[in-house]
């Protein structure tokens, strides 16, 4: 697998799609007026893609794995906040199901990437191609 920049990572691309959808639902009605929950879920969803990028830019597989795990934690945080938003009727069940499904898929993809990277004996194998390109 040769990836030259973070913009090529499918997990980063999916995280941006999810970020856009979170911003869209938090810009409507009750959610928009709940500054605390709105800002918290936005910070958490931004953390997903930001940690993917930060780990990738460290040019070290061990660091990338560490930051990917942080991203997975942020996915859990966003999912919890979506449960809260559903419970207090800020979002519909359809909105919840769509976003929750995408977040679960992203978590699986990141988890698979972590397993892949963790199986490598050297922490430069994946990113070596990036550096040498």
Is 53 within the bounds of a domain?
Answer: yes
Domain boundaries, position 122: 6-132
Which pLDDT score is estimated for 126?
58
The pLDDT tens digits for 65-86 are 999 999 999 999 999 999 999 9
| Helix 61-87 with 125-132: angle, nearest 10 deg | 110
Give burial (CB, 10 Å; 0-12/13-18/19+) of 87. Answer: exposed
pTM of the entire predicted model: 0.89
CATH number of the domain residue 122 falls in:
1.20.1440.60
Instruction: Tell me the C-alpha distance between 133 and 129, whole Å.
Output: 6
Number of domains in the chain: 1
pLDDT exceeds 50 at position 133: no
């Amino acid at each position: 697998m040769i990836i030259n920049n973070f913009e090529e990572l499918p997990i980063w691309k999916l995280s941006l799609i999810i970020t856009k959808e979170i911003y869209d639902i938090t810009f409507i009605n009750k959610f928009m007026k709940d500054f605390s929950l709105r800002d918290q879920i936005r910070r958490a969803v931004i953390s997903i893609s930001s940690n993917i990028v930060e780990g990738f830019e460290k040019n070290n597989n061990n660091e990338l794995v560490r930051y990917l795990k942080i991203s997975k934690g942020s996915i859990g945080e966003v999912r919890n906040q979506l449960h809260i938003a559903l419970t207090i009727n800020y979002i519909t069940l359809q909105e919840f199901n769509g976003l929750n499904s995408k977040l679960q898929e992203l978590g699986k993809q990141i988890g698979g990437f972590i397993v892949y990277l963790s199986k490598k004996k050297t922490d430069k194998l994946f990113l070596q191609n990036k550096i040498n390109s």
